[in-house]
Structure 1
Amino acid sequence: MNTNNNIQLTAEKVKSFAMGLIGAFFLALGVSYFSEQSTYRIPRILLPVYEFSGNIGLAIGLLILGGILLYYAYIKFKKCGGRPVIMLIVLPLFTLLAFGLNTFFNNNRSGKKEDNAQNRQATEQVGNANRPELNNEKAEKYLDKLENLFAEMTKAKESADENRFKLLETQFLDLGTELAIIIPEMAKTDQYPSFIQYNAHVSNKIHKMRMN
């Protein structure tokens, strides 16, 4: 019985490493996609985001997904009896590896990038987005939480309260799971473009704070 439990725990730990590796590559891709690319690797769940918000929306979506996967990889490994310090070492290494490989492939990609007017227009729309009035209660509550987090994170940043900022940052990453549930519902409505643009608008501001 103990042997079976050990095997199961080991399998779950391996899964957590896989989650962490995928999350690291999502982060690397997300950072690079803030600049226009000739081609994009787009997870299916983020395809609607790219269609309506271009490369900026895709970049933000990948950063959110990557952060969520890294966070839950750490939690999963810890719950399975793994030593947290191992993940604190492995996840940064995965991230460095992902950024290194992504840079390598980008530098070796042949051909010039084609101008993409649609992406430029989408970027402008995200930058000028205003909060829309939505008929979806879940989406409205989500935007309320997002705006509140942005306001609280701004205060924490201005007061140099790192502990408070890290706590809010975790809440922001957790909010990504809620967004993943709302997107399929909103994608069926004509309000989806304005919703996803405003979400990208606020999320982009938050990510700028996180990177500074």
Structure 2
Amino acid sequence: MREIEELIGNQTAIPYTIPIRFRVSIPLDDLLIFSAFTDYPNGLFGDLKIKFKINPHAFVFCQVNPIISMAKYYTMNKDELLGSSQQKLMDIDLMFRNWSLTFQYTKQFTQLGCTADLITGLHAEPLTESGLKNLICDIKPVTISIKNYVITEVTANMAGYKATDACLNRVRQFYSQRPFVVPAQRVEVWPFPTSATLTGIRTSQNIPLSHVTDFCLLFPKDARATTCFENPCYQNMQIT
């Protein structure tokens, strides 16, 4: 929270730009093409070269409960806050005591590039002359997107076996006369022939399936949705 305050404190133009560092874990075993190598020792077929490109529009975001963020902020800066003005401590205490879960901000993951209703400000307003205050929450539509990204480090863990030299030579000899087949994997998208209405969608479609490992039924509300979709309510769906 403090870092965000410092980063946007001197920015006057909207949208605000904030650099963020995070770690992305991509298990190689989840990729079908690499699962073929788990049955053989590393280095058997030479070095593996991996080329990948991260889709910046595939990330999602979700706002953390503000009361949790405030508790973390108070814990990390407790000494400084205790030495600050009494009014600031009273406002923090007001938030802890009067926080309401009825604030209608988006409590779910949202695709980057799409708009969500987020809490953009919290402040206390006096209700009575005696000093009674009420917690006011500012909720506005916010769009978060990635301008660019830089990959600073790449690490990978791959399985290995304690195979003897004789075993490795025998496997090399075996595949020197036979092709080593690595299965390919692709994603196919079949759109519905009709569009959904306010009452839903009722349709039938024949899709040829061959060696399918996963089947997903998605109903994106936004054309920018890539990896994050809301779960719809559907009835009488049959796959034969």
| TM tier relative to shorter chain | under 0.3
TM-score by length of 1: 0.17
- Structure with the higher helix share, 1 or 2: 1
TM-score by length of 2: 0.16
- Structure with the higher strand share, 1 or 2: 2
